């Protein structure tokens, strides 16, 4: 595999190059009047107005749409990495504001297709064989996005099988690596100058983006994700995953079975095929929650274009480039949070947050529970069609911000997917009651976790963890003893080679970046002011 995960090692990028790329991004945002929007000019100090004018704000796009809509257009013009960043920002109304987040939800990852002959060349290079050896029929693209496009084909087997063939765009890896490097550079700089940026863990946000993108840039990883989800959900009678054709799958090519199903976005077509849209909505929500809570591994791009209903009435998901994982702690946190809200037990929800270490201990549980009640009661007092789980989670994270809760990177994709899933369900059934649909899955998870077998399994895992720590105790004790001796003698000592390397690295960094960082600090300060105004 190419070192695609090396995209995250952006610390080695040239800071001067990163600065000028970041400057280009700022200018693009300014030209779309998305950096320092004209709606806020009256609130700005004089120096910020001068900066706005110097960056070229107020051009032809300045009067078109809301600030959020202009930001979405600017991100689309900057390229696919920025589009994906905007999609993640849409899950963070605490950072960008609710209106901007709503506008960013409309960002679409659509691109014109590249020529079929280029796709055929990618396939031939990937397998070292002519396309005709693999596929007896290879059609024109049926869908195209920023990273890849999909063709319908038939295999060269006897009898032939209809398949979907996904092919990466030529040169897309280098484009993403460059843009992610710039975004990571800007995030690290913002965290240096802003405590708010550190609390929001912007570098972790970019890392989440890079890691999810890395999976999309190696189609073998997507194939493995599809295979894993199929294995984990094998017993679910209402959900399935297309089979992977491993013999025709490579780093830049993915082949899966073709799905003959009705897209969930076509409500009338679902009815015509004998499917109940209201039941399909229930299946979508429960499938997502089962994947999240039971498996800790979920499809994180469940928009209507990726969901179909087959002839047997099963929900079929496609496109496994973006997957989410939740560790055991996060799964328990989410399950108990949802169960607590379902029972309207706000004290328990507050205790779950405190036990997980998400809320600092100096805040009383009762005070935090009171804040949670202010979230839950208005939502549960509404009609079913207005009882939004996505809205509750959004308000929950807005509230935890006031209690100094740090953003949890594992929950970013979960938040995003919950918003999308709920929107899809409401499109199928405007009166959809998401809480009643979720209740059996959450309660089943709680019962399974509290069962004696689960308790024994947790105890065994705890013993194993203690055993691993015990194995390290001799080394830890030796290191502690050595450090204590050094301190007694007047301080810790570094190995000469280590000291020399640190000095060389410090000299090299200072030589290039000291002046640059002063310039960037000013730019980052402007950016922080802008987002606070938004």
Q: What is the mean pLDDT of residues 121-137?
A: 96
Average pLDDT of the chain, as a whole number: 78
Whether pLDDT at 446 is above 70:
yes
- Looking at residue 506, what is its pLDDT? 46
- For 378, residues 6+ apart whose C-beta sits below 8 A from its C-beta are none
- For 13, residues 6+ apart whose C-beta sits below 8 A from its C-beta are 181, 182, 184, 185
Q: Dump the DSSP string for 475-498.
A: HHHHHHHHHHHHHHTTS----HHH
The per-residue pLDDT for range 251-296, each reduced to its tens digit, is: 999 999 999 999 999 999 999 999 999 999 999 999 999 999 999 9
pTM score? 0.69
Q: What is the mean pLDDT of residues 374-403?
A: 78
DSSP, res 244: B
Alpha carbon separation from 255 to 95, 237, 242 (Å, rounded): 39, 24, 10
Whether pLDDT at 448 is above 90:
no
Beta strand extents in 47-180 (DSSP E only): 135-144, 148-155, 162-168
* Model confidence band, residue 233 (pLDDT cutoffs 50, 70, 90): very high
Task: Please tell me the total number of residues recorded for the chain in this structure.
Answer: 534
Please name each of the domains of the chain with its CATH number: 4-109+185-211+520-533 (no CATH), 112-170+218-258 (3.30.200), 261-450 (no CATH)
The CA-based diameter of the chain, rounded to the nearest angstrom, is 84
Phi then psi dihedrals of residue 335, to 5 deg = -60, -45
- Looking at residue 247, what is its pLDDT? 96
Closest CA to 528 of 191, 44, 264, 130: 191
Q: What is the mean pLDDT of residues 152-162?
A: 96
Dihedral, 477, 480, 485, 491 alpha carbons, nearest 10: 170
- Looking at residue 182, what is its pLDDT? 81
Work out the angle at residue 393's Cα, subtended by the Cα atoms of residues 342 and 423, and round it to the nearest 5 degrees.
Answer: 95
Distance CA 80, CA 88 (A): 13
Q: Which residues are catalytic?
A: 301
Whether pLDDT at 99 is above 90:
no
- Cβ proximity of 376 and 344 under 8 Å: yes
- For 521, residues 6+ apart whose C-beta sits below 8 A from its C-beta are 189, 192, 193
Rounded percentage of the chain residues whose pLDDT exceeds 90: 32
- For 441, residues 6+ apart whose C-beta sits below 8 A from its C-beta are 286, 289, 290, 293, 294
- For 331, residues 6+ apart whose C-beta sits below 8 A from its C-beta are 292, 293, 296
Q: What is the mean pLDDT of residues 505-519?
A: 42
- Cβ proximity of 7 and 223 under 8 Å: no
Beta strand extents in 145-199 (DSSP E only): 148-155, 162-168
Q: Which range is least confidently modeled, 122-136, 273-287, 325-339, 400-414? A: 400-414
- For 223, residues 6+ apart whose C-beta sits below 8 A from its C-beta are 244, 246, 249, 254, 256, 320
- Looking at residue 488, what is its pLDDT? 52
The per-residue pLDDT for range 171-188, each reduced to its tens digit, is: 888 888 888 888 788 788
More confident residue, 463 or 228: 228
Helix (H) or strand (E) holding 239: strand 239-240
Q: What is the mean pLDDT of residues 19-30?
A: 78
DSSP, res 148: E
């Amino acid at each position: 595999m190419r070192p695609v995960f090396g995209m995250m090692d952006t610390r080695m990028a040239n800071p001067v190059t990163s600065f000028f790329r970041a400057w280009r991004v700022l200018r693009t945002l300014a030209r779309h009047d998305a950096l320092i929007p004209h709606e806020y000019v009256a609130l700005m100090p004089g120096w910020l107005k001068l900066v706005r004018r110097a960056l070229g704000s107020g051009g032809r796009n300045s009067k078109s749409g809301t600030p959020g809509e202009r930001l979405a257009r600017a991100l689309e013009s900057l390229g696919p990495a920025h589009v994906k960043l905007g999609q993640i920002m849409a899950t963070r109304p605490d950072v960008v504001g609710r209106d901007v987040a709503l506008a960013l939800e409309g960002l679409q990852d659509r691109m014109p297709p590249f020529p079929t002959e280029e796709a055929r060349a990618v396939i031939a290079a990937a397998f070292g064989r002519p396309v005709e050896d693999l596929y007896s029929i290879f059609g024109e693209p049926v869908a195209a996005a920023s990273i890849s496009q999909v063709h319908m084909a038939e295999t060269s087997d006897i009898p032939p099988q209809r398949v979907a063939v996904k092919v990466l765009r030529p040169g897309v890896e280098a484009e993403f690596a460059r843009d992610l490097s710039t975004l990571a550079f800007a995030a690290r700089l913002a965290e240096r100058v802003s405590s708010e940026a550190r609390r929001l863990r912007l570098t972790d946000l970019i890392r989440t983006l890079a890691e999810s993108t890395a999976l999309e840039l190696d189609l073998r990883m997507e194939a493995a994700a599809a295979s894993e989800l199929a294995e984990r959900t094998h017993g679910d009678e209402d959900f399935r995953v297309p089979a992977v054709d491993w013999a025709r799958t490579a780093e830049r090519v993915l082949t899966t079975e073709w799905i003959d199903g009705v897209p969930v976005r076509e409500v009338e077509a679902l009815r015509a095929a004998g499917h109940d849209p209201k039941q399909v909505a229930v299946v979508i929500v429960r499938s997502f929650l089962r994947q999240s809570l039971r498996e800790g591994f979920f499809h994180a791009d469940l928009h209507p274009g990726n969901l179909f209903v087959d002839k047997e009435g099963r929900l079929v998901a496609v496109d496994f480039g973006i997957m989410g994982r939740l560790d055991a702690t996060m799964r328990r946190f989410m399950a108990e949070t949802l169960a607590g809200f379902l029972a309207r037990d706000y004290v328990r929800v507050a205790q779950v947050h405190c036990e997980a270490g998400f809320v600092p201990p100096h805040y009383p549980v009762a005070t935090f529970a009171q804040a949670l009640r202010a979230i839950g009661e208005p939502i549960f007092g509404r009609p079913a069609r207005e009882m939004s789980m996505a809205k509750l989670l959004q308000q929950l994270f807005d509230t935890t911000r006031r209690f100094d809760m740090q953003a949890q990177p594992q929950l970013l994709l979960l938040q995003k997917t919950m918003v999308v899933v709920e929107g899809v369900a409401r499109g199928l059934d405007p009166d959809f009651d998401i809480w009643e649909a979720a209740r059996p899955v959450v309660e089943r998870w709680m019962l399974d976790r509290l069962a004696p077998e689960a308790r024994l399994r947790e105890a065994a895992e705890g013993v194993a963890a203690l055993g691993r720590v015990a194995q390290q105790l001799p080394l830890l004790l030796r290191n502690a003893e050595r450090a204590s001796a050094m301190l007694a003698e007047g301080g810790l000592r570094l190995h000469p080679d280590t000291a020399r390397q640190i000095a060389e690295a410090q000299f090299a960094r200072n030589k290039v970046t000291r002046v640059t960082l002063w310039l960037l600090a000013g730019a980052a300060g402007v950016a922080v002011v802008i987002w606070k105004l938004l």
